Amino acid sequence: MLMRRDNVRVCIPRFLQIGKGSLSELPNIISSIGNIKSPLIVTDKQMVALGYIDKIKTILSSTNLVISVFDETLPDPTDTVVLKGVELVHKNNSDCVIGFGGGSPIDTAKAISAMAKFSKNIQDYKPPGTFDKQGLPIIAIPTTAGTGSEVTHHAVIIDSRNKEKISCRGEGFVPQAAIVDYELTMSKPRRLTIDNAMDTLTHAIEAYVSKKATPFSDRMALDTIRLVTNNIYKVDKDPKDIKAREELMLAATLGGLAFTNASICLVHAMSRPLGSNFKIPHGLSNAMLLPTITEFSILSAQNKYAECSRVGSFSLKDDNDEIACKKLIDGLYKMNKDFDVPSIKTFGTNQKEFERELENMAKDAEISGAPNLNPRVPSVEEMIILYRKAWEPLGESC
């Protein structure tokens, strides 16, 4: 749904069901969307093995819906996998897709929604073009607190022919409905929980400093920063802290609303090539880059980064901008140390391959367009320098 106010255009799902036990509202959500008869659940094999899909089928058992399941999604979705899902849509006459899982199943569901009705060539969805048509209705149910894909107009899909990671975008990728139930995150392991929270924090900081930021996205971004920094240490100390889990889940959704309406910037632009070239998980690669790129960008938007620092309790409310910015940089490096975020090197990346791909990765990041929204716009050469700085183990380059 689109809202217009003071010339600000805001993309949000038509329905948002948030809170404990909200998964049970799925039948009502489906009914509210329209004449749905045959939904396709898009998920991965782990969600099936853990019994979540059986739970959804039980919740829907009182309806007359014909349920199909596509469980072949991958951590880094490819167009090949998407097309398998499209085949199942046509085979079963599916008229709705339910993305259930982390950001990858939800992004896969979004792409299936589009490709089932329109072009089956992933390159046709590549920026700067946008996909604003209506595909199959999308319902997003996240089981991780990080990507915000349940509320965004993005879907990241890899072109299997050239390994290019394409950030598809447009109103056609906004789910009609999202169910945000923090109980689905309670069993997630530490690494995934932390990486997702750092992904959320990156969304918020980048949305706040983006050149496309609006008063709406600013409010979402600042609330997201506060929620993440107030709760990430609590969850790390006690993974069963229900209140902290709930607030990180809310942060992920608010962060998604922030960046889908203001855009991400340089961190995400440089992070995606790391994922496609070296299989570094998205949230982790964002965390690897966030301190270094914040340090590079900070003087170009000192007042905004200072506000991020204050809201996130990196600094005191009465610290001046210069001190607040210094504390933000120090605080981001400290978070990476506290949460055992590796550098690109200590992740196990082959140095020769890394050096060989540096220029290509920097050019890929530039082509995405996101660096142009960063407070300080880097050249390809400067991005290569930033990659090299992030290569070093924490503390060796700062």
Q: Which amino acid, residue 190? A: R
2-185: CATH architecture: 3-Layer(aba) Sandwich (3.40)
Domain residue ranges of the chain, discontinuous segments joined by +? 2-185, 190-391
pLDDT at 166: 87
State the residue for tokens 């991020």: 308
190-391: CATH architecture: Up-down Bundle (1.20)
Q: What is the pLDDT of residues 132-149, one digit of tens each?
A: 999 999 999 999 888 888
- Which tokens is 210 given? 């983006």
Q: For residue 205, give every residue at least 6 positions away whose Cβ sits within 8 Å of its Cβ, in sequence order, or none.
A: 221, 225, 290, 294, 305, 308
pTM: 0.90
Q: Do 190-391 and 2-185 fall under one CATH topology?
A: no
How big, in percent rounded to 5, are the helix, strand and coil portions of the chain?
55, 10, 30
Q: How confident is the model at residue 397 (pLDDT cuts 50, 70, 90)?
A: very low
Q: How confident is the model at residue 5 (pLDDT cuts 50, 70, 90)?
A: very low
Q: Which of 75, 99, 65, 66 is nearest to 85 (CA)?
A: 99
CA pair distance 136, 40, nearest whole angstrom: 10
Q: What is the pLDDT of residues 41-72, one digit of tens each?
A: 999 999 999 999 999 999 999 999 999 999 99
- Which tokens is 236 given? 């790390």
**pLDDT higher than 70, residue 220:** yes
What is the mean predicted confidence (pLDDT) over 185-199? 92
Question: Are 131 and 173 a contacting pair, CB within 8 Å?
Answer: yes
**pLDDT higher than 80, residue 398:** no
Q: How confident is the model at residue 11 (pLDDT cuts 50, 70, 90)?
A: confident
Q: Mean pLDDT across the chain, nearest whole number?
A: 93
Q: In the chain, what percentage of residues exceed pLDDT 90? A: 84
